[in-house]
Amino acid sequence: MKDDGFMKMIHKKLPPETELAVELRCREVWACEDIEQIKAFCIDLMKNHARAEAVLSTAMMRVIELEAHLAILKTPTRKHTGVHKVRWWIEQLHLHWKYRKVTKRYSQRA
Cβ neighbors of 32 (< 8 A, separation 6 or more) are 38, 41
Q: pTM (2 decimals)?
A: 0.51
Plot region of 76 (φ>0 → left; ψ -120 to 50 → alpha; else → beta): beta
For 58-98, what is each residue's pLDDT tens digit? 998 999 999 998 888 887 766 666 787 888 889 889 888 88
The answer to whether the CB of 80 falls within 8 A of the CB of 86 is: no
Domain parsing of the chain, residue ranges? 1-75, 79-110
pLDDT band of 110, cuts 50, 70, 90: low
For 21-59, what is each residue's pLDDT tens digit? 989 988 998 998 999 998 998 999 999 999 999 998 999
The predicted pLDDT at position 105 comes to 65
User: C-alpha 6: how far from its chain's center?
Assistant: 10
The answer to whether the CB of 84 falls within 8 A of the CB of 78 is: yes
Q: Greater confidence, 106 or 32?
A: 32
Angle in degrees, CA 65, 71, 73, rounded to 5: 105
